[in-house]
Amino acid sequence: MEFDCSKVIERIKSACAAKGVSVNSAFIQSGVKKDMIVHLSNQHIPSADKFLKLAYFLGVTTDYLLGLSDN
């Protein structure tokens, strides 16, 4: 299975919208650097720790953010 950065970006934006926060705010509040989206846009895969922090803050699973699950 290939990692789809564009799908991850879509999932992050969707989870942020569902929580009612901006993407930048979610990164700041979760302790993840705001440049994570830039890295994803450039096809660079962030560390698992960053995904865990962001998923926890957004109230979703890392599988959801990675596009492996729909919930």
Q: Set out the domains of the chain in order of their start, with CATH numbers.
A: 5-65 (1.10.260)
Position 70 scores a pLDDT of 86
pLDDT at 71 over 80: no
pLDDT at residue 56 tops 90: yes
Model confidence at 27, pLDDT cuts 50, 70, 90, reads very high
Sign of CA dihedral 54, 59, 62, 66: negative
Q: Contact at 8 Å (CB) between 15 and 58?
A: yes
Using a 10 angstrom Cβ sphere, with 0-12 exposed, 13-18 middle and 19 or more buried, the burial of residue 6 is exposed
